[in-house]
Structures are given as C-alpha cells and as structure tokens.
Structure 1
Amino acid sequence: MPENESLSLDGDRILRGQSAEVTFPPPSTVQRTAWGAIVLLAIMLFGGTLMRAVFGPLQDAAKIDLRISDVQMGIVQGLGTGGPIALLSVPIAWFIDHGNRKRLLVVLMLLCVGGTFWTSFVHSLPGLFMSRTIGSLGALAAISVVISMAADMSTRAHRGKVLLLLSLGVWAGLAAAVAVGGTLFDYFDHHADWLFGPTASWREAHIVVAFIGAVLVAPVLVIREPGRHEIETHSTSVTPALRALWAKKQFLAPLFVGQLGVVMAETAAGIWSAPVLIRDYHQTPGQFAGWVGGAILFSGILGSAIGAVSADRGQRSGKRGALLYGAVMASVVAIPVAFFPIMPTLTGFAILFTLVMLCGTIHDIVSSIAVTVMIPNEERGICMALFGIVRSIIGFSLAPLLVTWGSLALGGESHLAFSLAIVGAVTGVLSLAGYALCVRHAPIVEPARPSQA
C-alpha cells in the first residue's frame, strides 16, 4: 500500500475511534547538504540567542534600577517570553509549513533586534515586559523556522550533523550572552560616561549587543528559500496534520513530557543562576561572565556532539527507541546535578551547573533530531507549534514563577537558591519519566542511507 494512502486510512481510523498504524516519511529527496547556507543559519541563531539571553546576567541590575521584585521579574522572564510564543505558535507553524520561511525569518530577526534595543530605554515594568516579549518572540520563533529550512537543505543521513551545528549556534549564543553581557556591564560600570553618557550599565550593554546582533543576523537577507522535501500530503489545512500527529500520540505525548521537564529546568536555571551567584556567592556579572560563558559553551559543544552521535547511531541501529537513548541517560544525570545552587563552594556550583547545561543540550539535540527524522515535512511545523504552546505556557512562563513562589513559601527571596534546586530536581524526574515512556512507544525508523556530502 502506498505510504500516503496508508496515512489517509490512519486518519480515518482515528476519526472512527480505531487504532492506527504509524507511518513515516519516505527518504529525503535532497541529494546534497547545503552546508554553506546551514552555517549562515547557525550564525543567525547565534545572534538571535545572544540578543535574547543577554538580559539574564544583567537582570539583577535592572531589577534594582526599575525597583521591581523577584516575582515581577519572574513574570517578565516567564510570561513575557512564553506568552506570545503560546499565542502565535500555530499561525507561525502554519506559515512555516506552507509559506515563505525566508520572509518570516526576516520579520522575526527585525523583532529580535528591535526588542533588544528597546530594552535599553524602558523605565517601567510594562515597558520592560513589552520589550522582552518582542525580542524573545523573534529569537525563539526563529529556531523553528531555521530547523524547518535546514531540514530541506540537508539529507536525512546528515540531519544529525545539521542539528548539531544549529544547536552549537544557540549554545554559543547563550555563552556569549553571559560573557559579553557581564563584561560590558563591568566595563560601563567603571567607565559610566565613556560611550553613552550617564546611563545605567545594563542599558548601555543592551545598546551595544543590539548593534552586534544586527550584524550577526544580517545573513538572513541573502539566504534563499529552499524547496520542500519529504512531503506526504499537499493540503494547506491544519486538520490533516493534526490527525496525522494524533496517530503518533503514544510517541509524541511522552516526548513532549520529557522535553517539557528539560525546558522547565533549563529555563529556571538560566534565569535565576545569575541572581544566585550575585546574592549567595557575592559575584559581579563581570566576575562570573567568563567562567559561566565558558561552561555554557563547553556544555553546548560537548552535549551537542554527544546528542547528535547518540541519535545517529540509534537511528542506524534500527532498534525501537534507540535514537532516544542519549536523552534517557542525560535525564538520569540531570536529577542529582540540579542541586548546583546550594553547593557550599563556587567550584561545586560551577561543576554541577556545567553538567546541568550538558544534560540540557543532549536533550535538545536528540529531541530535535527525533522530530526531523520521524515527522513528515508538512507536519513538522504544527508538531513544533504544539510543543511550543505547552513549552511556553508551562516551561517558559511557569518555571521562573515556580522558583519565586517556592522561595516565598520558604521564607522570602533569600531562599531563592534552595527553591531553584527543588524545581530542578522535580522537573528532572518528570523528564526521565517522559523519555522512558517515549522509548517504549517509539516507532522503528528505517536506518538512514549514506548520501553525498
């Protein structure tokens, strides 16, 4: 039976309440991987992530300057980041699957630059919320667009390596955000009137990063829209894609749960680790900029490599769930290392924090590869959008607030570190349970065939 006919019958069975057999995309028709274009996409992700994340190491300075509380900052960093993605995920996903992705990417990069620049001039909580919302929307939505474009620029056999390169762009951006943001903050703190006059150091740092980011994302203007491949149906309606994804629910639901736990842990650690370092370990942004940035970069490179290699080997083995083995092992390690915020020494904090980031990178790359390999082209955008909604509402929006609510329940903002540790450990257990079920219900994927470079 042809694969597209099988998929159609699966949708009919679902509507009648019957079980459906999961079908998978045919081998990619891409003959050669466009490495040059993919490198440019990785550079754009680096620039977008740099602009989105630079606020992290500077948020305590902004909190003092704007006279807001941890809970209010949690709302900015949580709802301000996750809310718009949740609301716009499905429209953006439909456009990714059926529209001109290059034009969408241009718009998103403009939002990212504009939001970062606007952050420099806000003087109220609503203004900060809006500027962070715009900048984060552009950077985060661009990731799904780039993954979709890269999938149509690469062969299935190279998909793991491509996702590895894109992941390195994101993680290098996170590392640079800490290193550049902290260094600029300390520099402007000691040279307050050198460049922009009597302006708060965190504001000056954002102005500089906005200009740097604009240069880094400029390649979006020269990249061409790739042709679409691995298409099973040509409908522009969302309904067929939702029906097809529903047929894969036993695999996708635990995958979403596993990745949700990771996102919650990563988000909480990424937002609140800098305040913990400042308050409990008495570090300045300039003092921890170098080693935290280095830890993020190291974990990003090593974790991306481990995740890509484990996923590729798992895919080639043809065993059920083998592609996800790396994510399961990372989940096991992530639980004990979540206690990095309450380590008695800065060295202990640094080691466990690096391991947290390492586990998160492995999860991210393995999950991305699983989606690009197991989900057909016309369903990928919707699949990423559905996860984006859950991730944004619960992961990005709720995780930062859980930490602040936990610290208040424990006695106040001085208990931020212990609350962060608890949230990280609990979400680690959630992630492990999700990935374990995902392996059990994962479909068997045809091993990738060697292709031209």
Structure 2
Amino acid sequence: MGEAIKPAYGRYVLMALLAVYSINFMDRQIIAVLSPQIKAELGLSDTQLGFLKGTAFALFYATMSIPMAMLGDRTNRVTLISCSLALWSGMTALTGFAGNFLHLFLCRMVVGVGEAGSTPPSHSLLADYFARDKRSTALAIYSLGVPIGTFLGLIVGGWLATHYGWRTTLLVLGIPGVFLGLVVKSTVRDVPRGSADALAAPPPRPDGLATVARQLWSIPTYRTMVLSGALNAFVGYALSMWLVDFYVRAGRASLAEVGIWMAVAFGVGGGIGTFTGGIAADKFGRRNPSSYLVIPGTAMVVAAPLTIAAVLVPGMAWSVACVFIASGLMYMSFGPLYGLVQTLAPVNNRSLAIAFYFLFQSLIGSGLGPLTVGFASDQLSHIVAPDTALTIAIGSLCLPLFIAGLNLILQRNRLQADLARIP
C-alpha cells in the first residue's frame, strides 16, 4: 500500500505545517515578552503571571489534545489543523481586550483549546508523507516552528510592545493565523494513513482510547521519552517565560533589548539545535538506533549546568551566550523523540500517540514549569531580595534537566527490542 507522493509536494506540505507551528508558538510564547507590561497595568503577582504563562494554557491544551487527536485519527487532518489555527489566532487577537486576570485566563484557555487541534494531526500527517529513515529530520524541520515562533514573538512582539503596548501587540499578532488557515485548507491535502510505510494492506480503524493508552504504555522506550520530554519541557518553558522578567528586573537591559537578545538565544540557538538534532539522529540512527536516545540525552546533561550559569555570570553577553547554547542543546531532542514516537506508534493511532506525549509535556512542562518558578520566586522573596529570589528559582532548573538527559541515556538498550516489535 502507499500513495505516490511527489517529493516537491511533500516538502511544500512540510513548509506549510512549519508556518502553522511557527504561529502556534508565536501566539503561545508572546505573553513572555508582554508580562512586564501586563504585570504593571493589572497589578498581578509572579504566581498569577506564572499561571497565565503556563498553567492556564496547558490545562486546556492537555485536556483537549486527546479528543482532538482522536478526531485527527478519524477525520480529515487538514481541516482540523486549519480550523484550529483560525480559532487560536482569533482568540490571541481578542486577548488584547482583556481587562483583568480572569479575562486573561479565559482567553489563554481558548488559545490552548485551539492549539490542541494542530500539533498531533500535523505529526501524524508528516509521518505519512516521510518514510521512517527521514522522519526525524522532517519532524525536526517542523519543530523549527518552536524557535522561529519564539524568535518572531520576541522580536516583533518586543518592538510592538515597546511602541504600541501589549494590547495592540496581541491584536496585530493574532490576525495572520486566520488567513494562513485558509491557505492551508485550500493547498494541503490529506493522504491515507501509512502512505509512507509501504504497508501490504490499509491499516485498521483507530482503536479506542484505553486500548491505545495500554499499547503505548507497554512500550518501555515510550515511557522513557514521556518522562524525559516532560522534564525537558518543564525547564524550557520556565526559562523562556521568565528570563525576560529576570533581565528587566535586574536592570541588565530594556524590554526591547531583552526581546532581541532572547530572540537570538532561543530563536537562532534553538533553531540550530532543532535542525542538528534531527539530522544527527537520522544519520547515526541508521547504524545504531540507540542514537535516537543518546544524542538528546547527552545534550540535556550538558545543558543542565548552563541554566545556572545563565543567571550567575556577570554581563548580559555572557548570560545570553549560556542561554543560546543551552536552548540549542535542549531543542536537539525534538526531532529524535518526535520521530521515534511516530515510528513506535501503531500507524492507525499516530495522532493519539503524540497527543499522549504532549499531554505530559504540557501538564508538567508548560503547566508547571512557569508556575513553579513564579511560585518559588514569590516564596523566596520573603527571605531574600526579589531579584535574588528569581535568580535562585531559575538556577534550580538544572536538576530536572539533568535527570531528563540521564534517563534517556540509561534506557538506550531497550530501544532495539521495542523497534524489533514493530510490524
């Protein structure tokens, strides 16, 4: 089985979904650069900011990702992606009219619901456009949406916020996604499940939720990736959401300057790491499949001490250099782990497989990461100066990152057996 797909069209689909994912992360991360202005105008605490930056979004993103993924395994994936894009983009624009904490929470909630309908079906669709030995590279390119979206949010968002305020910024950045949704719907086509896997027969209909959960959780490598991916996301979201506040409060740079510095660190550094991780995993993974775990695991372990150095070294340039390298190393996990999820998952349940992965990544990563740092900062500020409190809260992120990397490295020998069980 398998539908002949022209390589050029496959690359176009990849670029179109990359554009969607870039807007996804731009709209998701924009509140990081706007939070100093929001805090000043609405008088919010760090705990409230942490809730808005992560938990408000993550709770509903995680909750809705499962039913959205089930739709993605049963219906037209392109329609689901384009409608979801229009929904969250429109709600991002409406966030600019929020008048208090509750309004912001509700808006971020709907943004999370909308974005839940995009990423799982996008992963599933790309797995049907690209064969197993090219899948990590394709998903690494798709995952460039994280650094690209972060870069755009920080550069464009920082400039707009400086000149026009946070409300206008949200309105302006929300509009492009509505139009891109129309382009995706009219130019991207869905393909049969398993098109890139040369199956002898069409895959069966998708299984039920409980069945898929049992299937996936019975795979040791999948459990390993879920834990490490969640801890890596915990650190990544916390850093990207709180470093702007750290630099502004410490007086190291203005809001506009911080936006540029962080765009370079997360956008360029993260982009290099994302692309390199996918290419390296596919290259070395052909000879030694354990590379799909060892490469991201080693990168996380090396990145761990850099999270401490970023808030302790003197001078803005040295600090940003640490963030640049650390973000690149952490982002190296995207291609290898996402590709491995799609390879290990049953062909008829690929959207749901990545949705389960993102469920933990969202709840632990974006849900608890920013909130934990904000809460720790508030509590420590009763003991030490507020700037020092935030420094300690951010520096402590090295521990979960080190555990995440070590877990992948130690579990590498199980992967070969899990791959051998694939039909």
TM-score by length of 2: 0.90
Q: 1:354 aligns with which of 317, 324, 332?
A: 324
Q: Does 1:240 align with 2:204?
A: no
| Aligned residue in 2 for 1:419 | 393
The change in CA–CA distance for 1:179 and 1:235 in structure 2 (over 3 A counts) is closer
Displacement, 1:398?
Answer: 1.4
Provide the rounded CA distance (Å) in 1 between the counterparts of 2:250 and 2:213.
47
The change in CA–CA distance for 1:324 and 1:269 in structure 2 (over 3 A counts) is same
Q: Does 1:44 align with 2:20?
A: yes
Of the structure 1 ranges 52-61 and 216-225, higher mean CA displacement relative to structure 2 is found in: 216-225
| Aligned residue in 2 for 1:366 | 336
Percent identity of the aligned residues? 21
Q: Does 1:117 align with 2:93?
A: yes
Provide the rounded CA distance (Å) in 2 between the counterparts of 1:299 and 1:377.
33
Q: Does 1:259 align with 2:229?
A: yes
Provide the rounded CA distance (Å) in 1 between the counterparts of 2:160 and 2:235.
27
| Aligned residue in 1 for 2:402 | 429
Q: Does 1:387 align with 2:348?
A: no
Q: 1:76 aligns with which of 49, 52, 60?
A: 52
| Aligned residue in 2 for 1:401 | 371
Q: 1:280 aligns with which of 244, 250, 255?
A: 250
**Which of structures 1 and 2 has the bigger CA Rg?**
1
Contact 1:281–1:346 (CA under 8 A) maintained in structure 2? no
Displacement, 1:341?
Answer: 2.2
Contact 1:171–1:297 (CA under 8 A) maintained in structure 2? yes
TM-score by length of 1: 0.84
Contact 2:123–2:354 (CA under 8 A) maintained in structure 1? no
Q: 2:64 aligns with which of 88, 93, 100?
A: 88
Q: 2:155 aligns with which of 176, 179, 183?
A: 179
CA RMSD in angstroms comes to: 2.1
Q: Show CA shifts across 1:340-361 (max 9, x none).
A: 1232211121011112210221
Provide the rounded CA distance (Å) in 2 between the counterparts of 1:399 and 1:92.
24
The change in CA–CA distance for 1:359 and 1:324 in structure 2 (over 3 A counts) is same
Displacement, 1:235?
Answer: 4.2
Provide the rounded CA distance (Å) in 2 between the counterparts of 1:436 and 1:28.
35
| Aligned residue in 2 for 1:22 | none
The change in CA–CA distance for 1:320 and 1:36 in structure 2 (over 3 A counts) is closer
Q: Show CA shifts across 1:211-263 (max 9, x none).
A: 23334444222122222114654344234323322331x21111111111100
Displacement, 1:118?
Answer: 1.2
Displacement, 1:32?
Answer: 4.5
Q: 1:325 aligns with which of 287, 291, 294?
A: 294
Displacement, 1:29?
Answer: 6.5
The change in CA–CA distance for 1:281 and 1:136 in structure 2 (over 3 A counts) is farther
The change in CA–CA distance for 1:217 and 1:176 in structure 2 (over 3 A counts) is farther
Contact 1:256–1:434 (CA under 8 A) maintained in structure 2? no
Displacement, 1:83?
Answer: 0.4
Displacement, 1:154?
Answer: 2.0
Provide the rounded CA distance (Å) in 2 between the counterparts of 1:172 and 1:46.
6
Provide the rounded CA distance (Å) in 1 between the counterparts of 2:6 and 2:215.
28
Contact 1:42–1:170 (CA under 8 A) maintained in structure 2? no
Gaps of 5+ in 1: 1-26, 189-200, 447-453
Of the structure 1 ranges 343-352 and 162-171, higher mean CA displacement relative to structure 2 is found in: 162-171
| Aligned residue in 2 for 1:105 | 81
The change in CA–CA distance for 1:30 and 1:333 in structure 2 (over 3 A counts) is farther
Contact 1:112–1:138 (CA under 8 A) maintained in structure 2? yes
* SS across alignment from 2:39: helix
Q: 1:60 aligns with which of 25, 36, 54?
A: 36
Aligned length in residues: 405
| Aligned residue in 2 for 1:213 | 177
Contact 1:78–1:398 (CA under 8 A) maintained in structure 2? yes
| Aligned residue in 2 for 1:450 | none
Of the structure 1 ranges 281-290 and 174-183, higher mean CA displacement relative to structure 2 is found in: 281-290
